[in-house]
Amino acid sequence: MIKGVGIDIIEIERIEKLMSDKPNFLVRNFSEDEQALNCKSETVAGNFAAKEAFAKALGTGFHGFGLRDVEVLRNTHGAPYIKFKGEQTNANVSISHNRTTAVAVVILT
């Protein structure tokens, strides 16, 4: 049974600007495990979009928790998964990007 669906799209250029203008952007918004994965702006944008999509799928937005409480990680095959407040979720995550935008879809089951 589907409990919630969220989608988010973000311009990669916006993330590139945040990364260059605000040196603490990654530290403030991503866990240490995520930071180890976030080397390219496309990856950062996709993961940021997945965090937003997860909050939308919950139906609460970021009410009562922050961006660092939602971790977008990768399994051994490279597929994304989400941990929320340290616990792995039953969220199905799809992340994609082209040269200009990143998009993420999250389905909670």
Active-site residue, from 51, 56, 77, 83 = 56
CATH of the domain at 81: 3.90.470.20
Q: By percentage, how much of the chain surpasses pLDDT 70?
A: 99
Active-site residue, from 63, 83, 85, 97 = 97
> Residues 53-92: pLDDT tens digits?
999 999 988 888 999 999 999 999 999 999 999 999 999 9
Q: Where would I find the beta strands (DSSP E) of the chain?
A: 4-11, 70-74, 80-84, 87-88, 91-97, 101-108
Structural domain for 13, as ranges? 4-108
Domain count, the chain: 1
Check if 83 is active-site: no
DSSP bridge partners of 104: 8, 95
Check if 77 is active-site: no
| Average per-residue pLDDT for the chain | 94
CA end-to-end span of the chain, whole Å? Answer: 6
